[in-house]
Amino acid sequence: MAKWGMVIDLDKCTGCQACTTACAMENDTLPGESWQDVLFYNEGEYPSAQMKWLPRPCMQCEDPSCVHVCPTRATYKDEDAGGIVFVDWNKCIGCKYCMIACPYGVRFFADEQPLVEPDIRDTYPGENGQMWSPPYQNPEQDWRRGIGIQPKGVVSKCTFCYHKVSKAPEGVADLDEDDPELKEYVPACVRTCAPKARFFGDLDNPESNVNRLIADKKGARLLDHTGNRPQVYYLGAGASIPAFRPRES
């Protein structure tokens, strides 16, 4: 089985948020509850202040702390599915311990006050257990893997678009959106990225482009000291986020 990995080249990323939008469309997430978003931040002060950004999906960690803490095994890492970390919506009890334990802040309870107003749930109230039911929905639903529209009371997160990736031909080294044969299997954020800053492939395959990029272009993991060992790698300058500093008001 493959071990799916993502490579994000920060020197190419323009911070356009097309990935965030594509993810929200693909997975019908509520506005703001983006399983993948681009985090904008600043570093330094005038005259050397910088405006920076970092696209941030779930890292599908090799040693995921969210899985360790989950008391029900609702959150699990599926080695047979490329090492993707899923949430089983039939098992999650909504204790939110995984949200405490994830160092990357990429898990969503969503049954909370709206992040963006007006609250779209008022316009499209939930039916059949869904938190909200928009008129267009991705037909792919698999609650055992946290795919579909999130029900109330559980936690959701990026699935590396497993509903697409799982249909790719066996043994393929990379899922490249430029390959007409493969483009349907590419995760939404990767496929849509205009400057081609994102790559997706098999980290276990020595021939894969993602492995080559990590080796040749100095791929780095975000917050490596956590020991979670992400399956997402960043290329280029600035895969580091400055520590917290209170704002001077």
Partner 1 sequence: MSDNNIMKGGPGTGLLILSAVVLVVSFGYVMFQLMTVGHAAFNVSSKLPWGQPISTYLYFALASSGLGLIASLPLVFGFKQYYGIAKRAIFLAFIILISGMAVLALELGHTFRMLWAIPFNMQIQSAMFWMGVFYAADLLFLLWKFQKMEAGDWDSRNTKIIGIASFLGVLLASGNLALIFGMMSMRPFWYDGSLPIYFYLTAITSGMAALVFFTYLAYGFTRSNMPEKLQIVFTGGLPKLFATVLGLTILFVTVRAITGLYANNPEVYHVWADYLFASPLYILSLVFGLLLPFALMMSAKLRVNPQIQILVAVLTFGGLFAERYYFVVGGQVIPLFQGTWAWDMLQYTPSVTEWALTIMGAAMMFTLYVLGEKYFDLSAAPQLERAPRTAEPRQATA
Q: Which of 147, 117, 150, 159 is nearest to 31 (CA)?
A: 117
> By three-state DSSP, how is residue 144 classified?
helix
Q: Does 74 bind partner 1 (CB under 8 A)?
A: yes
- Token reading at 139: 């037909």
- Buried b / exposed e over 92-125, threshold 16 CB at 10 Å, is beeeebbbebbbbebbbbbeeeeeeeeeebeeee
Q: Is residue 23 a contact residue for ligand SF4 (CB under 6 A)?
A: no
- Candidates 7, 30, 85, 149: give the one binding ligand SF4 (CB under 6 A): 85
Interface map 80-119 toward partner 1 (x if CB under 8 A): -----------xxxxxxx-xxxxxxx-xxxxxxxxx----
Q: Which of 50, 53, 80, 75 is nearest to 64 (CA)?
A: 75
The one among 1, 11, 25, 39 contacting partner 1 by CB under 8 A: 39
Minimum CB distance to partner 1, residue 151 (Å): 9
- Verify binding: residue 124, ligand SF4, rule CB under 6 A: no
Whose Cβ is closer to partner 1: residue 5's or residue 55's? 55
| Backbone conformation region of residue 31, classed left if phi is above 0, alpha if psi is from -120 to 50, else beta | beta
List the one residue from 12, 43, 97, 212 that touches ligand SF4 (CB under 6 A): 97
Q: Assess 18 for contact with partner 1 (CB under 8 A).
A: no
Residue 184 interacts with partner 1 (CB under 8 A): yes or no: no
Is-contact 235 217, C-beta < 8 A? yes
* Per-residue CA distances from 126 to 30, 104, 247 (Å): 12, 29, 39
Examine residue 177 and tell whether it contacts partner 1 (CB under 8 A): no
Dihedral, 164, 169, 170, 173 alpha carbons, nearest 10: -90
Span from 29-37, 159-167, 168-176, 230-238 in contact with partner 1 (CB under 8 A):
29-37
Alpha helices in 12-104 (DSSP H): 18-27, 65-69, 97-101
DSSP label at residue 69: H
The binding track of 133-162 with respect to partner 1, each residue x by CB under 8 A or -, is: -------------------xxxx-------
Residue 100 interaction partner, one of ligand SF4, partner 1, none, beta carbon < 5-8 Å per kind? partner 1
Instruction: Please choose which of partner 1, ligand SF4, none residue 219 contacts, taking the beta carbon within 5 to 8 angstroms, the exact cut-off set by kind.
Output: none
By the rule CB under 8 A, 167 interacts with partner 1: no
Strand partners, 78: 84
**For binding to partner 1 (CB under 8 A), which residues are involved?**
32-33, 37-42, 54, 56, 65, 67-74, 91-97, 99-105, 107-115, 152-155, 226-227, 241-247
